[in-house]
Structure 1
Amino acid sequence: MQGLKDKVVIVTGGGGGIGGASCERLAAEGARVAVLDRDLSAAQKTAERIAAQGGTAAAFACDITSRGDVDAAITAVEAGLGPIDVLVNNAGWDVFKPFVQTSAQEWEKLIAINLTGALQMHHAVLPRMVERNRGRIVNIASDAARVGSSGEAVYAACKGGLVSFSKTIAREHARHNITVNVVCPGPTETALFAGFADAAPNPEKLREAFKRSIPLGRLGQAQDLAGAIAFFASDDSAYITGQVISVSGGLTMNG
Protein backbone atom coordinates (compact mmCIF):
# COMPACT_ATOMS: atom_id res chain seq x y z
CA MET A 1 0.00 0.00 0.00
CA GLN A 2 1.15 3.53 -0.70
CA GLY A 3 2.37 5.99 1.87
CA LEU A 4 2.96 3.80 4.91
CA LYS A 5 6.72 3.45 4.71
CA ASP A 6 8.38 5.14 7.69
CA LYS A 7 5.05 6.55 8.93
CA VAL A 8 4.60 6.48 12.70
CA VAL A 9 1.45 4.57 13.60
CA ILE A 10 -0.12 4.15 17.04
CA VAL A 11 -2.31 1.09 17.64
CA THR A 12 -4.17 0.86 20.94
CA GLY A 13 -4.88 -2.62 22.24
CA GLY A 14 -1.94 -3.78 20.15
CA GLY A 15 -1.03 -6.64 22.45
CA GLY A 16 -3.15 -9.23 20.69
CA GLY A 17 -6.15 -10.06 18.53
CA ILE A 18 -7.09 -7.53 15.86
CA GLY A 19 -4.67 -4.98 17.32
CA GLY A 20 -1.70 -7.32 17.22
CA ALA A 21 -2.46 -8.48 13.67
CA SER A 22 -2.84 -4.87 12.56
CA CYS A 23 0.49 -3.91 14.11
CA GLU A 24 2.19 -6.72 12.19
CA ARG A 25 0.51 -5.80 8.90
CA LEU A 26 1.33 -2.10 9.26
CA ALA A 27 4.95 -2.92 10.07
CA ALA A 28 5.10 -5.22 7.03
CA GLU A 29 4.01 -2.21 4.95
CA GLY A 30 7.01 -0.29 6.30
CA ALA A 31 5.38 1.69 9.12
CA ARG A 32 7.07 2.41 12.43
CA VAL A 33 4.56 0.98 14.88
CA ALA A 34 3.87 2.09 18.44
CA VAL A 35 2.17 -0.84 20.17
CA LEU A 36 0.05 0.51 23.03
CA ASP A 37 -1.59 -1.81 25.51
CA ARG A 38 -2.61 -1.82 29.14
CA ASP A 39 -0.64 -5.08 29.37
CA LEU A 40 2.94 -4.04 28.62
CA SER A 41 4.18 -7.63 28.34
CA ALA A 42 1.58 -8.35 25.62
CA ALA A 43 2.63 -5.19 23.77
CA GLN A 44 6.26 -6.22 24.03
CA LYS A 45 5.49 -9.63 22.51
CA THR A 46 3.87 -7.97 19.51
CA ALA A 47 6.85 -5.63 19.11
CA GLU A 48 9.24 -8.59 19.34
CA ARG A 49 7.35 -10.49 16.62
CA ILE A 50 7.58 -7.44 14.38
CA ALA A 51 11.30 -7.04 15.04
CA ALA A 52 11.85 -10.72 14.25
CA GLN A 53 10.17 -10.13 10.89
CA GLY A 54 12.47 -7.19 10.16
CA GLY A 55 10.02 -4.43 11.06
CA THR A 56 10.18 -1.48 13.41
CA ALA A 57 8.04 -1.36 16.55
CA ALA A 58 8.17 -0.26 20.16
CA ALA A 59 5.90 -1.19 23.07
CA PHE A 60 4.29 1.31 25.43
CA ALA A 61 2.13 0.74 28.49
CA CYS A 62 -1.08 2.75 28.27
CA ASP A 63 -4.44 2.56 30.00
CA ILE A 64 -6.60 4.62 27.64
CA THR A 65 -9.10 5.31 30.43
CA SER A 66 -6.42 7.44 32.14
CA ARG A 67 -5.66 10.80 30.51
CA GLY A 68 -2.34 10.89 32.34
CA ASP A 69 -1.39 7.53 30.81
CA VAL A 70 -2.48 8.68 27.36
CA ASP A 71 -0.47 11.91 27.49
CA ALA A 72 2.61 10.11 28.80
CA ALA A 73 2.37 7.46 26.08
CA ILE A 74 1.96 10.03 23.28
CA THR A 75 5.00 11.94 24.52
CA ALA A 76 7.04 8.73 24.73
CA VAL A 77 5.97 7.62 21.23
CA GLU A 78 7.00 10.88 19.63
CA ALA A 79 10.29 10.92 21.54
CA GLY A 80 11.09 7.36 20.50
CA LEU A 81 9.63 7.02 17.00
CA GLY A 82 8.81 10.51 15.77
CA PRO A 83 5.69 12.58 15.02
CA ILE A 84 2.48 10.55 14.86
CA ASP A 85 1.05 10.10 11.36
CA VAL A 86 -1.66 7.51 12.03
CA LEU A 87 -3.84 6.65 15.03
CA VAL A 88 -5.67 3.31 15.16
CA ASN A 89 -8.13 3.18 18.05
CA ASN A 90 -8.60 -0.54 18.56
CA ALA A 91 -8.67 -1.18 22.32
CA GLY A 92 -12.01 -2.49 23.56
CA TRP A 93 -13.80 -4.57 26.17
CA ASP A 94 -17.24 -6.15 26.49
CA VAL A 95 -19.48 -7.97 28.91
CA PHE A 96 -22.13 -10.28 27.45
CA LYS A 97 -25.43 -9.99 29.34
CA PRO A 98 -28.98 -8.86 28.65
CA PHE A 99 -29.13 -5.15 29.47
CA VAL A 100 -31.44 -5.56 32.47
CA GLN A 101 -28.88 -7.88 34.08
CA THR A 102 -26.02 -5.39 33.81
CA SER A 103 -24.93 -2.98 36.53
CA ALA A 104 -24.07 0.71 36.54
CA GLN A 105 -20.48 -0.24 37.36
CA GLU A 106 -20.32 -2.35 34.19
CA TRP A 107 -21.77 0.53 32.13
CA GLU A 108 -19.09 2.84 33.47
CA LYS A 109 -16.28 0.45 32.56
CA LEU A 110 -17.72 -0.22 29.10
CA ILE A 111 -18.07 3.49 28.38
CA ALA A 112 -14.63 4.31 29.80
CA ILE A 113 -12.84 1.77 27.60
CA ASN A 114 -14.93 1.74 24.42
CA LEU A 115 -15.85 5.41 24.11
CA THR A 116 -14.12 7.76 26.54
CA GLY A 117 -10.73 6.08 25.97
CA ALA A 118 -10.99 6.65 22.22
CA LEU A 119 -12.05 10.26 22.80
CA GLN A 120 -8.99 10.80 24.97
CA MET A 121 -6.70 9.39 22.28
CA HIS A 122 -8.23 11.74 19.70
CA HIS A 123 -7.98 14.71 22.05
CA ALA A 124 -4.29 14.03 22.65
CA VAL A 125 -3.27 13.26 19.07
CA LEU A 126 -5.46 15.52 16.93
CA PRO A 127 -3.79 18.84 17.86
CA ARG A 128 -0.43 17.40 16.77
CA MET A 129 -1.89 16.28 13.45
CA VAL A 130 -3.55 19.66 12.95
CA GLU A 131 -0.24 21.42 13.56
CA ARG A 132 1.40 19.29 10.84
CA ASN A 133 -1.67 19.54 8.55
CA ARG A 134 -1.86 15.80 7.96
CA GLY A 135 -3.01 12.56 9.56
CA ARG A 136 -5.03 9.39 9.35
CA ILE A 137 -7.34 8.06 12.07
CA VAL A 138 -8.89 4.60 11.93
CA ASN A 139 -11.46 3.77 14.58
CA ILE A 140 -12.45 0.16 15.24
CA ALA A 141 -16.14 0.01 16.10
CA SER A 142 -18.36 -3.06 15.64
CA ASP A 143 -21.25 -4.30 13.56
CA ALA A 144 -23.10 -4.26 16.88
CA ALA A 145 -23.20 -0.49 16.33
CA ARG A 146 -24.81 -0.86 12.91
CA VAL A 147 -27.37 -3.61 13.43
CA GLY A 148 -27.51 -4.27 17.19
CA SER A 149 -26.42 -7.39 19.05
CA SER A 150 -28.28 -9.18 21.81
CA GLY A 151 -26.33 -9.15 25.06
CA GLU A 152 -24.18 -6.18 24.03
CA ALA A 153 -26.47 -3.18 24.55
CA VAL A 154 -24.02 -0.79 26.21
CA TYR A 155 -21.10 -1.96 24.06
CA ALA A 156 -23.22 -1.34 20.96
CA ALA A 157 -24.16 2.10 22.28
CA CYS A 158 -20.50 2.97 22.78
CA LYS A 159 -19.52 1.78 19.32
CA GLY A 160 -22.49 3.59 17.78
CA GLY A 161 -21.28 6.73 19.52
CA LEU A 162 -17.79 6.16 18.12
CA VAL A 163 -19.20 5.91 14.58
CA SER A 164 -21.08 9.22 14.94
CA PHE A 165 -18.10 10.87 16.60
CA SER A 166 -15.81 9.70 13.78
CA LYS A 167 -18.04 11.25 11.11
CA THR A 168 -18.12 14.55 12.98
CA ILE A 169 -14.34 14.64 13.47
CA ALA A 170 -13.94 13.78 9.78
CA ARG A 171 -15.97 16.89 8.91
CA GLU A 172 -14.20 19.13 11.41
CA HIS A 173 -10.70 18.16 10.28
CA ALA A 174 -10.98 17.52 6.54
CA ARG A 175 -9.53 21.01 6.01
CA HIS A 176 -6.45 19.88 7.94
CA ASN A 177 -5.88 16.96 5.55
CA ILE A 178 -6.85 14.51 8.31
CA THR A 179 -9.05 11.56 7.36
CA VAL A 180 -11.16 9.63 9.85
CA ASN A 181 -12.71 6.28 8.93
CA VAL A 182 -14.28 3.36 10.79
CA VAL A 183 -13.84 -0.40 10.49
CA CYS A 184 -16.62 -2.55 11.95
CA PRO A 185 -15.67 -6.17 12.63
CA GLY A 186 -18.31 -8.86 12.52
CA PRO A 187 -17.89 -12.07 14.56
CA THR A 188 -14.13 -12.55 14.77
CA GLU A 189 -12.03 -15.18 16.55
CA THR A 190 -10.52 -13.03 19.30
CA ALA A 191 -10.29 -13.28 23.08
CA LEU A 192 -13.34 -11.00 23.24
CA PHE A 193 -15.40 -13.38 21.08
CA ALA A 194 -14.11 -16.39 23.01
CA GLY A 195 -15.45 -14.83 26.21
CA PHE A 196 -18.81 -14.33 24.54
CA ALA A 197 -18.95 -17.89 23.18
CA ASP A 198 -17.73 -19.52 26.37
CA ALA A 199 -20.51 -17.84 28.33
CA ALA A 200 -23.09 -19.67 26.20
CA PRO A 201 -24.54 -23.03 27.34
CA ASN A 202 -23.02 -24.72 24.27
CA PRO A 203 -20.08 -22.66 22.90
CA GLU A 204 -19.40 -24.96 19.95
CA LYS A 205 -23.03 -24.92 18.88
CA LEU A 206 -22.97 -21.12 19.03
CA ARG A 207 -19.86 -20.96 16.84
CA GLU A 208 -21.47 -23.24 14.28
CA ALA A 209 -24.61 -21.11 14.27
CA PHE A 210 -22.50 -18.03 13.53
CA LYS A 211 -20.69 -19.83 10.72
CA ARG A 212 -23.99 -20.87 9.13
CA SER A 213 -25.26 -17.28 9.26
CA ILE A 214 -22.16 -15.82 7.59
CA PRO A 215 -22.33 -15.99 3.77
CA LEU A 216 -18.59 -16.70 3.49
CA GLY A 217 -19.07 -19.64 5.85
CA ARG A 218 -16.52 -18.93 8.55
CA LEU A 219 -15.75 -16.68 11.50
CA GLY A 220 -13.43 -13.79 10.85
CA GLN A 221 -9.77 -13.94 11.78
CA ALA A 222 -7.76 -11.02 13.15
CA GLN A 223 -5.77 -10.90 9.90
CA ASP A 224 -9.01 -10.31 7.96
CA LEU A 225 -9.35 -6.94 9.69
CA ALA A 226 -5.71 -5.92 9.36
CA GLY A 227 -5.92 -5.30 5.62
CA ALA A 228 -8.89 -2.93 5.88
CA ILE A 229 -7.20 -1.07 8.73
CA ALA A 230 -3.95 -0.75 6.78
CA PHE A 231 -5.91 0.52 3.76
CA PHE A 232 -7.52 3.35 5.74
CA ALA A 233 -4.13 4.17 7.27
CA SER A 234 -2.48 4.37 3.85
CA ASP A 235 -2.42 6.98 1.09
CA ASP A 236 -4.54 4.63 -1.02
CA SER A 237 -7.49 5.98 1.00
CA ALA A 238 -6.45 9.65 0.80
CA TYR A 239 -9.79 10.72 -0.74
CA ILE A 240 -11.94 8.69 1.69
CA THR A 241 -13.13 10.13 4.98
CA GLY A 242 -16.11 9.74 7.30
CA GLN A 243 -16.82 6.24 5.99
CA VAL A 244 -17.75 3.00 7.75
CA ILE A 245 -16.92 -0.45 6.40
CA SER A 246 -18.03 -3.81 7.78
CA VAL A 247 -15.57 -6.70 7.68
CA SER A 248 -18.02 -9.46 8.46
CA GLY A 249 -17.91 -12.12 5.77
CA GLY A 250 -21.18 -10.72 4.40
CA LEU A 251 -23.14 -11.15 7.64
CA THR A 252 -24.02 -7.46 7.53
CA MET A 253 -24.48 -5.69 4.21
CA ASN A 254 -24.99 -1.96 4.65
CA GLY A 255 -25.32 0.52 1.82
Structure 2
Amino acid sequence: MTRPDLPRTVIVTGAGSGIGRATALCFAGRGARVAAIDIDESAAAAVVAEIEALGGRADAFAADVSDEAGVQRAFGCIASACGPVDTLVNNVGIEITGPLTGFSLADYERLFAVNVRSVFLCSRAAVPDLVRAGGGSIVNLASVASFRTWPGDGVYSATKAAVLSLTRAFASELAASGIRVNAVAPAIVDTPMTDRALAVEPDAVEGRRRRERLHPLGRLAQAGEVAEAVYFLASARASFTTGACLSVDGGLLA
Protein backbone atom coordinates (compact mmCIF):
# COMPACT_ATOMS: atom_id res chain seq x y z
CA MET A 1 0.00 0.00 0.00
CA THR A 2 1.36 3.44 -0.94
CA ARG A 3 2.20 5.61 2.05
CA PRO A 4 0.13 8.84 2.12
CA ASP A 5 2.95 11.02 3.42
CA LEU A 6 5.24 10.67 0.40
CA PRO A 7 7.40 12.21 -0.87
CA ARG A 8 9.55 13.14 2.14
CA THR A 9 13.09 12.55 0.86
CA VAL A 10 13.75 12.48 -2.87
CA ILE A 11 16.81 11.77 -4.99
CA VAL A 12 16.92 13.71 -8.27
CA THR A 13 19.59 12.82 -10.83
CA GLY A 14 20.79 15.45 -13.25
CA ALA A 15 19.52 18.02 -10.76
CA GLY A 16 21.88 20.81 -11.77
CA SER A 17 19.91 22.23 -14.69
CA GLY A 18 16.80 21.99 -16.83
CA ILE A 19 14.07 19.57 -15.80
CA GLY A 20 16.20 18.21 -12.96
CA ARG A 21 16.66 21.63 -11.41
CA ALA A 22 12.96 22.42 -11.77
CA THR A 23 12.06 19.07 -10.23
CA ALA A 24 14.38 19.59 -7.26
CA LEU A 25 12.85 23.02 -6.64
CA CYS A 26 9.31 21.65 -7.03
CA PHE A 27 9.78 18.87 -4.48
CA ALA A 28 11.63 21.13 -2.05
CA GLY A 29 8.89 23.72 -2.31
CA ARG A 30 6.42 21.12 -1.09
CA GLY A 31 8.51 20.21 1.93
CA ALA A 32 10.56 17.28 0.68
CA ARG A 33 14.25 17.00 1.44
CA VAL A 34 16.18 16.81 -1.84
CA ALA A 35 19.35 14.88 -2.60
CA ALA A 36 20.54 16.62 -5.75
CA ILE A 37 22.90 14.51 -7.85
CA ASP A 38 24.79 15.93 -10.81
CA ILE A 39 28.03 15.08 -12.56
CA ASP A 40 28.84 18.80 -12.25
CA GLU A 41 29.44 19.42 -8.56
CA SER A 42 29.06 23.19 -8.87
CA ALA A 43 25.70 22.81 -10.64
CA ALA A 44 24.40 20.54 -7.88
CA ALA A 45 25.64 22.99 -5.25
CA ALA A 46 23.94 25.89 -7.05
CA VAL A 47 20.51 24.27 -7.02
CA VAL A 48 20.96 23.36 -3.35
CA ALA A 49 21.79 27.00 -2.62
CA GLU A 50 18.59 28.04 -4.43
CA ILE A 51 16.53 25.60 -2.39
CA GLU A 52 18.09 26.69 0.90
CA ALA A 53 17.57 30.36 0.04
CA LEU A 54 13.86 29.57 -0.30
CA GLY A 55 13.82 27.85 3.09
CA GLY A 56 14.03 24.27 1.83
CA ARG A 57 16.34 21.39 2.69
CA ALA A 58 18.76 19.90 0.18
CA ASP A 59 22.18 18.30 -0.16
CA ALA A 60 24.45 18.19 -3.20
CA PHE A 61 26.21 15.06 -4.43
CA ALA A 62 28.59 14.82 -7.38
CA ALA A 63 28.36 11.53 -9.26
CA ASP A 64 28.40 9.97 -12.70
CA VAL A 65 25.22 7.90 -12.45
CA SER A 66 26.16 5.83 -15.49
CA ASP A 67 29.02 4.36 -13.42
CA GLU A 68 28.22 1.52 -11.02
CA ALA A 69 30.84 2.43 -8.43
CA GLY A 70 29.85 6.10 -8.61
CA VAL A 71 26.21 5.25 -7.95
CA GLN A 72 27.12 3.03 -5.01
CA ARG A 73 29.25 5.79 -3.45
CA ALA A 74 26.62 8.46 -4.01
CA PHE A 75 23.78 6.41 -2.56
CA GLY A 76 25.92 5.51 0.44
CA CYS A 77 26.63 9.19 1.06
CA ILE A 78 22.95 10.06 0.63
CA ALA A 79 21.94 7.42 3.19
CA SER A 80 24.39 8.89 5.70
CA ALA A 81 23.44 12.51 5.08
CA CYS A 82 19.71 12.31 4.42
CA GLY A 83 18.48 9.11 6.01
CA PRO A 84 15.81 6.91 4.40
CA VAL A 85 14.80 7.84 0.85
CA ASP A 86 11.25 7.26 -0.39
CA THR A 87 11.36 8.77 -3.89
CA LEU A 88 13.76 8.53 -6.82
CA VAL A 89 13.57 10.67 -9.94
CA ASN A 90 15.71 9.28 -12.76
CA ASN A 91 15.99 12.51 -14.71
CA VAL A 92 19.52 12.58 -16.09
CA GLY A 93 19.74 12.35 -19.86
CA ILE A 94 21.62 13.55 -22.91
CA GLU A 95 20.78 13.82 -26.60
CA ILE A 96 23.19 13.13 -29.43
CA THR A 97 21.84 13.23 -32.97
CA GLY A 98 23.23 12.36 -36.37
CA PRO A 99 22.72 10.21 -39.44
CA LEU A 100 23.11 6.46 -39.09
CA THR A 101 26.10 6.24 -41.42
CA GLY A 102 28.00 8.88 -39.47
CA PHE A 103 26.98 7.89 -35.95
CA SER A 104 29.94 6.69 -33.89
CA LEU A 105 29.90 3.65 -31.65
CA ALA A 106 31.25 5.84 -28.86
CA ASP A 107 28.23 8.15 -29.09
CA TYR A 108 25.88 5.14 -29.25
CA GLU A 109 27.39 3.67 -26.10
CA ARG A 110 27.43 7.02 -24.29
CA LEU A 111 23.73 7.57 -25.00
CA PHE A 112 22.77 4.16 -23.65
CA ALA A 113 25.07 4.56 -20.64
CA VAL A 114 23.65 7.91 -19.55
CA ASN A 115 20.02 7.48 -20.57
CA VAL A 116 19.41 3.79 -19.80
CA ARG A 117 22.15 2.33 -17.63
CA SER A 118 21.69 5.16 -15.12
CA VAL A 119 18.00 4.24 -14.70
CA PHE A 120 18.94 0.62 -14.04
CA LEU A 121 21.78 1.44 -11.64
CA CYS A 122 19.95 4.10 -9.63
CA SER A 123 16.73 2.11 -9.41
CA ARG A 124 18.61 -0.97 -8.25
CA ALA A 125 20.46 1.08 -5.63
CA ALA A 126 17.30 2.80 -4.38
CA VAL A 127 15.02 -0.22 -4.00
CA PRO A 128 16.40 -1.49 -0.65
CA ASP A 129 15.80 1.96 0.89
CA LEU A 130 12.32 2.16 -0.58
CA VAL A 131 11.48 -1.27 0.80
CA ARG A 132 12.78 -0.29 4.25
CA ALA A 133 10.69 2.88 4.07
CA GLY A 134 7.58 0.74 3.59
CA GLY A 135 7.13 1.71 -0.04
CA GLY A 136 7.86 4.60 -2.30
CA SER A 137 7.98 5.86 -5.83
CA ILE A 138 10.32 5.94 -8.82
CA VAL A 139 9.66 8.37 -11.66
CA ASN A 140 11.68 8.06 -14.86
CA LEU A 141 12.07 10.70 -17.54
CA ALA A 142 11.08 9.15 -20.83
CA SER A 143 10.21 11.29 -23.87
CA VAL A 144 7.83 11.63 -26.77
CA ALA A 145 10.75 9.97 -28.54
CA SER A 146 9.78 6.81 -26.65
CA PHE A 147 6.82 6.63 -29.06
CA ARG A 148 8.02 8.21 -32.30
CA THR A 149 11.25 9.31 -33.88
CA TRP A 150 12.72 11.70 -36.41
CA PRO A 151 15.62 11.39 -38.87
CA GLY A 152 18.91 11.52 -37.00
CA ASP A 153 17.26 10.76 -33.66
CA GLY A 154 17.13 6.98 -33.91
CA VAL A 155 19.59 6.07 -31.16
CA TYR A 156 18.25 8.68 -28.74
CA SER A 157 14.72 7.42 -29.40
CA ALA A 158 15.85 3.86 -28.75
CA THR A 159 17.21 4.87 -25.35
CA LYS A 160 13.95 6.54 -24.39
CA ALA A 161 11.93 3.53 -25.55
CA ALA A 162 14.17 1.45 -23.31
CA VAL A 163 13.45 3.76 -20.36
CA LEU A 164 9.73 3.22 -20.91
CA SER A 165 10.21 -0.55 -21.08
CA LEU A 166 12.20 -0.54 -17.83
CA THR A 167 9.48 1.57 -16.22
CA ARG A 168 6.79 -0.98 -17.04
CA ALA A 169 8.91 -3.97 -16.07
CA PHE A 170 10.02 -2.47 -12.76
CA ALA A 171 6.44 -1.43 -11.98
CA SER A 172 5.27 -5.03 -12.31
CA GLU A 173 8.19 -6.39 -10.33
CA LEU A 174 8.12 -3.92 -7.45
CA ALA A 175 4.39 -3.45 -6.90
CA ALA A 176 4.26 -6.15 -4.23
CA SER A 177 6.82 -4.13 -2.24
CA GLY A 178 4.65 -1.00 -2.33
CA ILE A 179 6.89 0.71 -4.87
CA ARG A 180 5.24 2.49 -7.77
CA VAL A 181 7.23 3.13 -10.95
CA ASN A 182 6.02 5.58 -13.58
CA ALA A 183 7.39 7.76 -16.35
CA VAL A 184 6.89 11.24 -17.73
CA ALA A 185 7.25 11.82 -21.46
CA PRO A 186 7.97 15.46 -22.27
CA ALA A 187 8.07 16.87 -25.76
CA ILE A 188 10.60 19.63 -26.47
CA VAL A 189 11.34 21.58 -23.30
CA ASP A 190 12.81 25.07 -23.04
CA THR A 191 16.04 24.07 -21.28
CA PRO A 192 19.79 24.59 -21.68
CA MET A 193 19.92 21.30 -23.63
CA THR A 194 17.51 22.74 -26.20
CA ASP A 195 19.52 25.96 -26.29
CA ARG A 196 22.67 23.97 -27.08
CA ALA A 197 20.90 22.19 -29.94
CA LEU A 198 19.70 25.51 -31.33
CA ALA A 199 23.15 27.06 -31.05
CA VAL A 200 24.58 24.80 -33.77
CA GLU A 201 21.78 25.51 -36.26
CA PRO A 202 22.28 28.09 -39.05
CA ASP A 203 19.27 30.08 -37.80
CA ALA A 204 18.53 29.55 -34.10
CA VAL A 205 15.41 31.74 -34.19
CA GLU A 206 13.84 29.75 -37.02
CA GLY A 207 14.97 26.53 -35.34
CA ARG A 208 13.03 27.49 -32.21
CA ARG A 209 9.95 28.44 -34.25
CA ARG A 210 10.10 25.13 -36.11
CA ARG A 211 10.19 23.25 -32.81
CA GLU A 212 7.32 25.31 -31.44
CA ARG A 213 5.20 24.49 -34.50
CA LEU A 214 5.56 20.76 -33.79
CA HIS A 215 3.31 21.24 -30.76
CA PRO A 216 -0.40 21.96 -31.31
CA LEU A 217 -0.23 24.32 -28.32
CA GLY A 218 2.31 26.34 -30.31
CA ARG A 219 5.15 26.59 -27.83
CA LEU A 220 7.83 24.63 -26.00
CA ALA A 221 7.19 23.12 -22.59
CA GLN A 222 8.61 24.84 -19.53
CA ALA A 223 10.73 22.74 -17.19
CA GLY A 224 8.43 23.57 -14.30
CA GLU A 225 5.46 22.08 -16.15
CA VAL A 226 7.31 18.78 -16.49
CA ALA A 227 8.35 18.93 -12.83
CA GLU A 228 4.70 19.23 -11.77
CA ALA A 229 3.90 16.01 -13.65
CA VAL A 230 6.83 14.27 -11.98
CA TYR A 231 5.64 15.42 -8.57
CA PHE A 232 2.09 14.26 -9.24
CA LEU A 233 3.24 10.74 -10.11
CA ALA A 234 5.45 10.59 -7.02
CA SER A 235 2.72 11.83 -4.70
CA ALA A 236 -0.19 10.08 -3.01
CA ARG A 237 -2.51 11.69 -5.55
CA ALA A 238 -1.26 9.00 -7.95
CA SER A 239 -1.47 6.22 -5.35
CA PHE A 240 -3.15 3.74 -7.72
CA THR A 241 -0.95 4.61 -10.70
CA THR A 242 2.01 2.42 -11.61
CA GLY A 243 3.55 1.37 -14.90
CA ALA A 244 2.07 4.48 -16.52
CA CYS A 245 3.58 7.14 -18.74
CA LEU A 246 2.23 10.68 -18.53
CA SER A 247 2.82 12.73 -21.67
CA VAL A 248 3.59 16.42 -21.20
CA ASP A 249 3.77 17.19 -24.87
CA GLY A 250 1.56 20.12 -25.85
CA GLY A 251 -0.42 17.73 -28.03
CA LEU A 252 2.54 16.55 -30.10
CA LEU A 253 1.51 12.90 -29.87
CA ALA A 254 -2.19 13.60 -30.42
TM-score (norm 2): 0.95
- The answer on whether the counterparts of 1:185 and 1:248 sit within 8 Å (CA) in structure 2 is yes
How big is the shift at 1:251? 1.3
User: 2:34 matched to which residue of 1?
Assistant: 33
Q: Aligned equivalents of 1:185 and 1:206: distance in 2?
A: 18
User: 2:208 matched to which residue of 1?
Assistant: 207
What one-letter code is carried by the residue in structure 2 that aligns with 1:57? A
Post-superposition Cα deviations, 1:129-164, rounded to whole Å, max 9, x if no partner, equal 234430100000111111113322111101101101
- Three-state SS of the structure 1 residue aligned to 2:10 is strand
Q: Aligned equivalents of 2:54 and 2:100: distance in 1?
A: 44
Superposed CA RMSD = 1.3
- Three-state SS of the structure 1 residue aligned to 2:12 is strand
How big is the shift at 1:3? 3.0
- The answer on whether the counterparts of 1:4 and 1:26 sit within 8 Å (CA) in structure 2 is no
Q: Aligned equivalents of 1:32 and 1:131: distance in 2?
A: 18
Q: Aligned equivalents of 1:133 and 1:187: distance in 2?
A: 36
Post-superposition Cα deviations, 1:73-96, rounded to whole Å, max 9, x if no partner, equal 111111111111000000011112
Could you list the runs of 5+ residues in structure 1 that have no partner in the other structure?
none
- The answer on whether the counterparts of 2:142 and 2:184 sit within 8 Å (CA) in structure 1 is yes
User: 1:239 matched to which residue of 2?
Assistant: 240
**Is 1:71 the equivalent of 2:72?**
yes
User: 2:195 matched to which residue of 1?
Assistant: 194
Q: Aligned equivalents of 1:209 and 1:3: distance in 2?
A: 43
- Three-state SS of the structure 1 residue aligned to 2:251 is coil
- Three-state SS of the structure 1 residue aligned to 2:175 is helix
- The answer on whether the counterparts of 1:50 and 1:56 sit within 8 Å (CA) in structure 2 is yes
Q: Which moved more, 1:129-138 or 1:25-34?
A: 129-138
- Three-state SS of the structure 1 residue aligned to 2:147 is helix
**Is 1:249 the equivalent of 2:250?**
yes
- The answer on whether the counterparts of 1:96 and 1:196 sit within 8 Å (CA) in structure 2 is no
- The answer on whether the counterparts of 1:4 and 1:30 sit within 8 Å (CA) in structure 2 is no
- The answer on whether the counterparts of 2:51 and 2:57 sit within 8 Å (CA) in structure 1 is yes
- The answer on whether the counterparts of 2:111 and 2:156 sit within 8 Å (CA) in structure 1 is yes
TM-score (norm 1): 0.95
User: 1:107 matched to which residue of 2?
Assistant: 108
How big is the shift at 1:212? 2.2
User: 1:118 matched to which residue of 2?
Assistant: 119
Q: Aligned equivalents of 1:59 and 1:19: distance in 2?
A: 13
Q: Aligned equivalents of 1:27 and 1:128: distance in 2?
A: 20
- The answer on whether the counterparts of 2:71 and 2:125 sit within 8 Å (CA) in structure 1 is yes
How big is the shift at 1:203? 2.0
Could you list the runs of 5+ residues in structure 2 that have no partner in the other structure?
none
Q: Aligned equivalents of 2:150 and 2:93: distance in 1?
A: 16
Aligned residues between the structures: 251
Q: Structure 1: which 4+ aligned runs deviate by more than 6 Å? A: none
Q: Which moved more, 1:190-199 or 1:76-85?
A: 190-199
The percentage of aligned residue pairs carrying the same residue is: 37
Post-superposition Cα deviations, 1:51-93, rounded to whole Å, max 9, x if no partner, equal 0001111100110111111111111111111111000000011
How big is the shift at 1:27? 0.3
What one-letter code is carried by the residue in structure 2 that aligns with 1:207? R
Q: Aligned equivalents of 1:99 and 1:52: distance in 2?
A: 46
Q: Aligned equivalents of 2:127 and 2:100: distance in 1?
A: 34
Q: Aligned equivalents of 1:201 and 1:101: distance in 2?
A: 20
Q: Which moved more, 1:195-204 or 1:231-240?
A: 195-204
User: 1:3 matched to which residue of 2?
Assistant: 5
Q: Aligned equivalents of 1:170 and 1:121: distance in 2?
A: 15
Q: Which moved more, 1:51-60 or 1:96-105?
A: 96-105
Q: Aligned equivalents of 1:83 and 1:238: distance in 2?
A: 20
Q: Which moved more, 1:151-160 or 1:14-23?
A: 151-160
User: 1:59 matched to which residue of 2?
Assistant: 60
How big is the shift at 1:112? 0.6
How big is the shift at 1:118? 1.3
Q: Aligned equivalents of 1:102 and 1:199: distance in 2?
A: 17
